[in-house]
Chains A and B, each alone.
Chain A
Amino acid sequence: MRPASYLTNKLRDPGFWGDNAAVIGLIVICCIFSVLTPTFLTWANISDLLVSASILLVLAMAQQFVIVTGGIDLSIGSSLPWAAVIFGLTFNSYHSIPLAIVAAIVSGMAVGLVNGLIIAKLKVNDFIATLGMLGVMNGLALIVSGGQSFAVDSPFLQNLVLGSIGPIRYFYLVALLIAGLSYLVFTYTPFGTHVLATGGNHDAARNMGISTDRMRILVYLIGGGLVGVAAVLMVARTGGSDPSMQTSQLLTSIASVVLGGSSLFGGRAGILGTVAGALVLTTLLVGFTLLQVSEYYQPMAVGIVVIAAAVLSRLQR
């Protein structure tokens, strides 16, 4: 088939629009903003936009793994500051960035492991289990940090935020690498297929001999590790660890995944869609800031776009 007719056939297929709702939405929104303000399409702005989206992107990847099995992780709202506290304390005590990074990732994985065990072995509903852990980790972060936020001073971290390799900033490079690795796992590893099967048809997966319990524990473990990575980014960007820094990114991370086309019931993993979803949400924030849209209208406009994208994704094949 000639490329031109292939493209027009694709464009006429509602399923194509539905499957790629987030990406299409992102392109449309970027076009609109570039028309409305000259600052939008500058490299400086795009670069800063990607930096602002990075932490959300990593959190969305963490949420993606869990959502694919039909689960959800509400605890990342607290395990993020928790891992940030562990990272900060480790660095301030030992002045070793590699050690601190490992500590952050391990502390995140510990939370993931507990979540996974409670859900898979104790058969507690994932919403409730992770909601409970949200509170537990909030308390633990406060206890371990003595209720105080503290500065983490590191030239490495500052370079992570502000430095770049060529035109690519390290900060979002980390996030994009994580997204790329997630894509590879889902598409090219047996583990990825097993996770998709566990979420898509739990009984079928079990009948085929997949240990669905193990899959569910592993995705929470991986998600927790990714939260640890996000915590490193967070400490770098905010210059310190704050046990109370409960960002509003919990819901946004879930929204990114769902916006990207993955069903909350599991079985689908649209990494590109999730990345686009996270970027859509950040782009709206940035675009409205540039346009000085009144803060009363910002949340409403974001909500409308989210609903529109969700309606569009109903056309998914």
Chain B
Amino acid sequence: MKQTPHSLIYFGITAALVTAFASALMPASAAQTGSANVAVVVRDFNNPYWRALRDGAVDQGKKLGVPVTVQAGSTETDSIGENAKISTMANQSFTCFGVVPINATNVITPLIPVSKKGTPIINLDTGLDAGAVKSAGLNITSFIGSDNSRAGAIAGDYMLKLLGGTGKVVILLGIPGEQNGINREAAFRKTIAGKLTVVQTAVADYERPKALTVVESILKVHPDITGIFSANDEMGLGAAQAIANAGKQGKIKVISIDGVTEALAAVKSGKLSATVSQYPYAEGEMAVSACHALAAGKTIPAKVESPIQLITADNAGKAIASFPRPFFTFDNPFGP
């Protein structure tokens, strides 16, 4: 039989499709517009927080004329995916890496080849374990991120203010073992110690539906709570919904951390009492600025704190208007 098997046709189609996709989406020109070429790796693109970081990096790259490539794993815990991206990009000609780890150690070993080439590495958002970094012989140039402990303390202070210094509260935790969440919780507890009583701590994996279910149950067991502290906005919004469903809106204050758009709107409308806005957009901007500075031969500080801000009904409007950028000036070592 001389006829072409259908299989060849299938493959021809697939090959054509893949080629079409790939070539259609390749960067328009590979011209080197500056001596910097920045790689940023975040956990995933599902979480609006990391999307904001990506957008900040990309926008700053355009402003400075620096090519910026952002890649990510597929979920909050997809270490295999994130590491694969790092390993692959390590073989390309990037001059600088900005990396958001999933936990305190997961990107250390895959980054060693990058470090060995002398390429600067900037640790973004979630801190790496200093001891592990040192014993691996990894060279981290700088850390850019918000101080999650300070965010937790700010939330604690405001909760005390809202509840008049006394009352029963519940804490919602994110993914167990995730360092930022641990820092936020610890600082919150320290701030309210002796004044407010934590009647229950519950895990909702940073996810809204889980938080909703969990809080619904909690309200039945502890109908007399007056405040909920949530380690992130998604869970805070879920908690707020559960409270509204139970008809207790306004009676239970909800404070969360992150500062995503929906949370800002919820603060403005009163559904959420407050959020501590972190500015991943600014983190991304500063990461690219840092790489740009390094490429120009300048030195950068070993630790750069990105801004955080308590958002209440008073300033929510301003926050929304300038989102994702901060609506205030902050200490930016790389310029205004």
Contact = CB atoms under 8 A, between A and B. Distances in A.
Interface of A: 12-14, 17-18, 24-25, 28-29, 32-33, 36, 39, 42, 44-45, 48-49, 51-52, 55-56, 142, 145, 147-149, 151-153, 158, 161-162, 234, 236-240, 242-249, 282, 285-295, 297, 299, 301, 304-305, 308, 311-312, 315
B240 interface: no
Interface in B162-186: 175-178, 182
A124 B105 CA distance: 39
B224 interface: no
Contacts of B69: 292
Contacts of A294: 25
B307 to A, nearest CB: 27
B178 A289 contact: no
Contacts of B175: 244
A151 B129 contact: yes
B105 A238 contact: yes
Interface stretch (B10-18, B144-152, B268-276, B308-316): B10-18
20 contacts: A28-B15, A36-B26, A52-B87, A52-B88, A147-B176, A149-B177, A162-B113, A234-B80, A237-B110, A238-B83, A238-B105, A238-B106, A238-B107, A243-B177, A289-B84, A297-B21, A299-B74, A304-B14, A308-B14, A315-B7
B104 A42 contact: no
A292 B18 CA distance: 14
B92 interface: yes
A48 B90 contact: yes
Nearest to B110: A237
Given A148-B177, A304-B14, A239 B105 contact: yes
A52 B14 contact: no
A306 to B, nearest CB: 10
The residue among A44, A236, A247 with the most chain B CB atoms within 10 A of its own CB is A247
A247 B109 contact: no
B72 interface: yes
Which secondary structure dominates chain B's binding surface?
helix
B104 A12 contact: no
A17 B7 contact: yes
A249 B177 contact: no
B193 interface: no
Nearest to B45: A295
Contacts of B6: 14, 315
Given A28-B14, A32-B19, A293-B21, A282 B84 contact: yes
A245 B79 contact: yes
The residue among A36, A162, A248, A315 with the most chain B CB atoms within 10 A of its own CB is A248
Interface stretch (B130-138, B212-220, B241-249, B298-306): B130-138
B25 A142 contact: no
Given A12-B1, A56-B80, A244-B176, A291 B22 contact: yes
